[in-house]
Chain A
Amino acid sequence: MEISPSEIESVLSVDVGSVNTRAVLFDLVGSSYRMLAASMVPSTHLAPIRDVQEGVISAIHHLEEITGRILLDANHKLILPTSLEGTGVDHILASSSAGLDIRIVTVGLLNEYSLANIDRLTGGTYARIVDRFSLNDPRKPEDRLNAFIQSEPDLVIIGGGTNHGAGRAVLRMVEQVHLAVRASQSTRRPEILYAGNETLKEKVDETLGKLTTVVTAPNVFPFSSSSDMGPVEEILTQVLNSIRAGRYKGFSELEKMTGQPIISTAGAESRIIRFQSLQQSSEKTVLGINIGSSASHFITANRGDVHTSVYGGLGVGEAMAETVDRLGLDAITRWLPMDIKGNSARDYIWQKSLFPSTIPMDGETLEIEQAVARAILAEMRRDYLGLPSACPDNFEPVLVSGAVIAQAPTFQQSLLMVLDGLQPTGVTTIFCDRYGLLSALGSAAVTNPTLVVQVLESGILTNLGTIISPMIKAAQGETVLHVRLSEDNGVNHEYDIRKGDIVRLPLELNKTARLSIKPLKRMDNFTGSRNLKVVGGELGLIIDMRGRPINLSSDPTVRLENSIRWTRSLQEVLS
């Protein structure tokens, strides 16, 4: 029985990750949607179970235990829609970040235009670009052919040209793809997604359709905005899902159950980041970060224009060894606050890659994972700053998901990881998604935007606090800032802040106050007002005067002392 969106009351959202499967149940409480419960169980797409659905059913069963509500029937099938007895749910949605092993080759006319745009299109997917081909490829034709075949793509995305523009160059590229696909083993021929000059669709289908499956999509024009990409993204999602469905048992059954394509976790979260960016000033860029097991992502949105980058191979589980390979061990050990020998960190990182679902058991191994998270954040930020549209100092707010940060044992640890890795300047508010809600809400955003708005407004994301990070050049320990915090009840607190310190000012959760900032030396790059309205978070209000970049001493003893000092500072509120 189909039910219209207006009749949907309860929504179950499932996210199948490379390590864990999460389920979140939303329902109307009074007149507003609320999150009722969230559960997390190990994913089951890999051996020995090898069926996506087992993990999904297990996660739903866990929700039943938490809520006492019957969601599954006697055959362990989800009851859809809600029965008259109140069992089941009205709607189920799904997202996934599992299946990073899909290999994509991209083909376009020029690196700077069509290929760059295809990169942007694929940037939000959990797949790997294994090679790129364009007219300005310097390789010899046979080298290109051999590279194509050896890269063993599952999917080739072809873009290029404007509609009704000259098509000869595009067709030449298509001919080359045709040759390469023909030369590939017949059992290993990749599927084709054509998103170029739309007048050539039939010719492309004629040329390649005899060899393999060809899917056509709207043209990915050069200079497309993120909103133009929507239809192409949707088709790409469907193509990737069909490849995944061939690989992972239960994937297509899950998709059938939801009645719509399973979207990527990053894609789901990007909807929320975009939504947030439309709610606020255009000067600020909303940032969403997620450190996962086999991939991480970095999503920015400004006035609705979203940029999503998924970093396969950067993560704190299966990808940990690749992370250390790519970033270097020093990029990680520099963040180790304890006296941990580099070899111990290296060994742990490799061991964790063998057993990605394991959990750090002691302080030392927890610190190693948190150091890897810092290094990944720093790398993603560095990569982001290379984009022409990058706004380095205006992240507001930052929404953090992924267990290593969002579910760290203490808020202080979560906050320090984000500040150390991102090193934001100016004024930033950091929210943690402790229940894995962003992907769940993103999945629901299209069919039930009311749910998204009401759940976000219910304060379900954990506000760690507002962070003020002025840039003032001075010697360490020198007093550089005088601040006055004026609470709404008329109580004023005044503080002198020294260079090198990070401090917590007393402001209760969700209480508002005014903060007046008076630099005692020249203050650079502080775009915000010096008399701010601020809202307290779990850690109150934080002033980070450690400078940018944070100066980490090469002396491990000093580094350790600083780390202990910063952590202690965040444990105590200034009186």
Chain B
Amino acid sequence: MMYAPVVHYLKQTNIRRLRLLPVPGRLLVSPGQKVSPMDSVAEAPNPSGHFFLDIRKALKVDTATADELIQRKKGERLAKGDILAETGGAFSRVVRAPVDCQVTEINAGVMIMETQGEPVRIPAGLPGFIHSLEGDKGVTIESGGALVQGVWGNNRTDSGLLVVLCDSPDQELTVKQLEASARGSVAVAGYCLSGEVIRRAAEMELHGLILSAINPDLIHQVNNLTFPVILIEGFGRIPMNMAAYSIFHENERHDAALHARPWDHMTGERPEVLIPSPNQALPPPEVDEFSPGQIVHIKMPPYSGEVGTILAMTQGLTNLSNGLRVPAAVLRKQNGEQITVPLANLELII
């Protein structure tokens, strides 16, 4: 069986999504609870670093005496200024906690303290209901609506009103398009090649940006944006495929939630845009096989971002123009042209 990778561009579906902490922590929601994309569903402590306090040196005593003078136990949480050890007597020397911290270890007169950063909180990432709790690690959220999956995200989450900035999916995003109608919205556009456009987008108080593709040199800049950015196609001058673009177009002025998590090939979780709606639909399959009649998305040049229908699976191996021999399929593109594409370069649109 030749498994076919699947990408979801769905006008109406129901989905369940796991939201898991990197380490066990505390759940902040209950089963059945309604959540918004920005709601935190779980949190975990986030140690920000460790420092050593040498009580022997600070109190000018030997190791055994230092161990005796230490007044704290391993695991104790301390506030800045709390006394850790003191010699006592008329001229008592005192060692205090320099910051809020926790005692990690006490060993041979040395205290090892852990400082805590802001807890790690995971957002729901989409509007929906808590379907189930996953122990002390996270939750499963159920939601429904139009779903568009991407290939790259800058690890941010937000939601807002969907505004399509381009007239066609093969346009390059310009500053002019942004300035015309993007402010405060989740903006949808073609590809972006210019750092100036990203700089301007950062000033527009966007709640999200959905692009077909970007120049890879802009990755660092996009990673530093405070709002989510999702790429539907990838990198370079690639138009957005019509299947995804038409969903955005049909849902213009609707609320859209962006969970711009990076694509995790291990779990299969991808960056996603969900345009919520109360209608019910079956959850989509995550795996299938290639067969004639299916709609497919082409992932690589020279047809990056194009959509076609499988007319036939070629028998055996097919010779490509560059001499490689691969399993392939004959497709009819949306413009009617017939092409042969390696199966490895296709994903099923479901």
Chain A: residues with CB nearer than 8 A to chain B?
A: 41-42, 44, 46-50, 54, 58, 141-142, 145-146, 149, 179, 182-183, 185, 187-188, 247, 318, 321, 343-344, 346-352, 354-355, 357-366, 409-410
Contacts and interface: CB of A to CB of B under 8 A. Distances in A.
Interface stretch (B11-19, B29-37, B92-100, B317-325): B317-325
Binding site secondary structure of chain A: helix
B49 A348 contact: no
Given A50-B267, A58-B2, 17 more contacts: A48-B287, A58-B1, A142-B49, A145-B112, A179-B112, A182-B105, A347-B216, A350-B235, A351-B235, A358-B342, A361-B300, A361-B301, A361-B320, A361-B321, A361-B345, A366-B322, A366-B324
Contact of A142 (B5, B52, B268, B302): B52
B26 interface: no
A349 B219 CA distance: 14
A359 B216 contact: no
A183 B114 contact: yes
A188 B345 CA distance: 37
B304 interface: yes
A357 B236 contact: no
Most A CB within 10 A of own CB, among B237, B302, B304, B320: B320
Given A47-B265, A355-B299, A362 B6 contact: no
B266 interface: yes
A351 B214 CA distance: 11
B257 interface: no
Nearest to B231: A354
A142 B6 CA distance: 47
A354 B216 contact: no
Interface in B217-259: 217, 234-238
Interface in B95-117: 104-105, 107, 112, 114
B216 A321 contact: yes
Given A179-B105, A187-B24, A347-B237, A361 B342 contact: yes
Given A47-B268, A146-B49, A183-B105, A350 B3 contact: no
Nearest to B269: A47
B151 interface: yes
Interface residues of B, number: 53
B280 to A, nearest CB: 24
Pick the 7 closest A-B CB pairs, nearest first: A47-B268, A409-B323, A347-B236, A350-B235, A350-B216, A366-B322, A48-B287
26 contacts: A47-B268, A48-B3, A48-B5, A48-B268, A50-B268, A58-B2, A145-B50, A146-B49, A146-B50, A183-B112, A187-B23, A187-B24, A321-B216, A343-B236, A347-B235, A347-B236, A350-B216, A354-B234, A354-B263, A357-B344, A358-B342, A359-B342, A360-B322, A361-B345, A363-B321, A365-B302
Contacts of A361: 300-303, 320-322, 341-342, 345
Interface in B281-331: 286-287, 299-304, 320-326
B269 to A, nearest CB: 8
B37 to A, nearest CB: 23
A306 B5 CA distance: 40
B28 to A, nearest CB: 19
A559 to B, nearest CB: 20
A410 B323 contact: yes
A362 B326 CA distance: 13
B220 to A, nearest CB: 11
Nearest to A409: B323
Given A48-B287, A361-B341, A352 B300 contact: yes
Given A359-B324, A366-B322, A351 B342 contact: no
B3 A44 contact: yes
Given A183-B114, A366-B324, A409-B324, A149 B236 contact: no
Contacts of A187: 23-24
B256 to A, nearest CB: 23
B152 to A, nearest CB: 7
